[in-house]
Structure 1
Amino acid sequence: MALQWVILTYVVAFEAAMALLLTVPAPNVLKSSIVSLVSLILQPAMTLIPFAAFQLLDIYWKNEHRMMCTSEICTAAERDRYEKALYKSQKNVILCASACLLYWCVYRIVKYYKDIQKLEEVVKKYKEQ
């Protein structure tokens, strides 16, 4: 079970690196090659969204069917295990949400750069006429 969270963590780190790489100022030639490379990666990376959604559903189901440990009957060890599981599930929800948000941010950044390149080509064409 932990492997899926490790994979999701690496994907989030990779998306953050891509977003950082796209927003760092660079020459136009380098920036256009980075944007084209990232745009090629974006379509296969779209599988991240259903994966994160499935993980969120799994967290929700486990949360709904988790045994509550709030009464006086619970021992200290059971209460600690319950709280640890709660914190872990909250961390995983943040991880899933950040994966989706970072994917959307990278997608929008690439789309903006492509739109800017198209507009620059149009301006160049009008200047030549």
Structure 2
Amino acid sequence: MGLQWMLLTCVVGAEAAVAALLTLPAPRAVRAQIVGLTSMLLQPFAAVLPFAAFQLLDIYWKNEHRLICTGEMCTSEERVRFEKSIFKSQRNVILCVSVFILYWSIYRICKFNKDIKALEEVEKRIKDE
């Protein structure tokens, strides 16, 4: 079970690094190369989105079927274990949601850069005429 969360953690880290790289100021030629490479890699990296969605569904199902430890019947050890599992679930939900948000952000940044490049080409063509 820990391997899948480690995989999502690595994906979130990689997406955050790519988003930071895309937003740093760079010369136009370098930025065009970074955006082109990132755009090519976006489609294969979209495979992580269904995986994160499945993990969210798994967390939801486990939350709905979790034994609730409230009242005087629970020992302090059981209550601590219950609260620890709640905190892990919340952390994992944040991890899954951040996969979607970072992927969408990278997609939009690449799209904006491509649109800006297309508008610059149109402006250059109009000036040449």
Residues 26-68 of structure 1, C-alpha deviations (whole Å, 9 max, x = no match):
0000000000010011001111211111000000000011101
Q: Percent identity?
A: 60
Question: May I ask how many residue pairs the two structures share in their alignment?
Answer: 129
Matches of 2:41 and 2:8, distance apart in 1 = 16
Partner Cα distance (1:46, 1:117) in 2:
24
**Mapped partners of 1:126, 1:106: distance in 2:** 30
Normalising by structure 2, we get a TM-score of 0.98
1:117 aligns with 2:111: no
2:5 paired residue number: 5
Task: Please name the residue that 1:42 is paired with.
Answer: 42
Aligned residue number for residue 59 of structure 2: 59
Q: Which runs of 5+ in 2 are unaligned?
A: none
Contact kept, 8 Å, 1:48 with 1:100, in 2: the verdict is no
CA RMSD of aligned residues (A): 0.5
Structure 1 runs, 4 residues or longer, greater than 3 Å off: none
TM-score normalised per structure 1: 0.98
